[in-house]
Amino acid sequence: MTMQNQTEPYELVTTRVIDAPRALVYNAWAKPEHLARWWGPDGFTNTFHVFDWRPGGLWEFVMHGPNGIDYANKSEFVEVGPERIVLRHICEPYFQLTAVLEDLGGQTRLTWRQRFETEAVLNAVKKIAEPANEQNLNRLEAELRNMSA
């Protein structure tokens, strides 16, 4: 079950309990061959150009939309620990994403916090970001099932 709320100014929060151990969820983030398969909403694919999984490392990639449009993305990893992953999206729209991976003994509670710079940016992307985040987590769960098979 997923819960959504807004707790901090300019922040979207989604929480989901995932039926996979934290180590597997972490590997789905940390390994680019897995991340490329699940990152983004339904219908999107990714081409990674730079993936430097360390604090201060860059992640540059293109999301290929189902509409044929390419969306260039650039982020910087702030934290990459097994309990918490933080990245700063350093192109528009600017935001910080914090993913907290809580070990529930065979399951993982993933709390996805997306903090935007201003209320205007939050409001501009909220209608797209809320369903896109849900689709992103659905795709993560599908990748985790494939990784477990």
The pLDDT of 69-98, averaged and rounded, is: 97
- Model pLDDT for residues 104-143, shown as the tens digit of each residue: 999 999 999 999 999 999 999 999 999 999 999 999 999 9
In DSSP terms, which residues pair with 14 in a beta bridge?
4, 112
106/19 Cα distance (integer angstroms): 7
pLDDT reading at 5 higher than 90 = no
3.40.50.720, 2.40.110.10, 3.30.530.20, 3.40.50.1170: CATH of 40-118: 3.30.530.20
Q: Hey, where are the domains in the chain?
A: 40-118
The pLDDT of 36-44, averaged and rounded, is: 97
136/19 Cα distance (integer angstroms): 16
Name the pTM for this structure.
0.91
| Residue 7 banded pLDDT, cuts 50, 70, 90 | low
